[in-house]
Structure 1
Amino acid sequence: MFTGLVEQVGRIQSIEERAGYKVLTLTIPEADVYAEKLGDSIAVNGCCLTVTRRSETTMSFDVSHETLSKTSLSQLKTASLVNLERALRAGDRLGGHMVAGHVDAVATVRSIDQLPGGWNIWVALPLDLARYVIPKGSIALDGISLTVNEVKDEAKASLIRLTLIPATIENTNVQTWAPGILVNVEVDMVGKYIERMALPHLSGK
Structure 2
Amino acid sequence: MFTGIVQGTAEVVAIQEAEAFRTHVLALPAELREGLVLGASVAHNGVCLTVTAIDEERVSFDLMRETLRVTNLGAVKEGDRVNIERAARFGDEIGGHAMSGHVMALAELVELDEAPNNRRLWFEVPHALGRFLFDKGYIGVDGISLTIGQVQPATVDHGPRFCVDLIPETLVRTILVDRVPGDGVNIEIDPQTQAIVETVERVLQAREI
Same fold, TM-score > 0.5, yes or no:
yes
CA distance in structure 2 between the aligned counterparts of 1:130 and 1:3, rounded to whole angstroms: 23
1:10-66 deviations in Å (ceiling 9; x for gaps): 011111112441001111222783462000000100000000011221111010011
How much identity, in percent, do the aligned residues show? 37
Secondary structure at the aligned position of 1:84 is classed as strand
Unmatched segments (≥5 aa) in structure 2: none
TM-score scaled by length of structure 1: 0.93
- 2:2 pairs with 1:2: yes
For residue 179 of structure 2, the aligned residue among 174, 177, 180 is 177
How many Å separate the matches in 2 of 1:69 and 1:106?
Answer: 10
Q: Which residue of 1 aligns with 2:118?
A: 118
Which residue number in structure 2 is paired with residue 92 of structure 1?
Answer: 92
Unmatched tracts of structure 1, length 5 or more: none
AA in 2 matched with 1:2: F
Partner of 2:52 in structure 1? 52
> How far apart are the structure 1 equivalents of 2:46 and 2:75?
14
Inter-partner Cα distance in structure 1 for 2:70 and 2:196: 24
2:69 corresponds to which residue?
Answer: 69
In structure 2, give the amino acid aligned to 1:131.
Answer: R
Three-state SS of the structure 1 residue aligned to 2:134 is coil
Is this contact kept in 2: 1:31–1:54, CA < 8 A?
no
Cα distance in 1 for partners of 2:136, 2:32 equals: 38
TM-score of the superposition, structure 2-length normalised? 0.91
Moved over 4 A (4+): none
Q: Distance in 1 between matches of 2:149 and 2:74?
A: 29
Counterpart secondary structure, 1:113: strand
Match of 2:161 in 1: 159
Q: How many residues align?
A: 203
RMSD: 1.8
Match status 1:150 vs 2:150: yes
Query: For the structure 1 residues 31 and 24, does the alpha-carbon distance in structure 2 shift closer, same or farther, using more than 3 Å as the test?
Result: farther
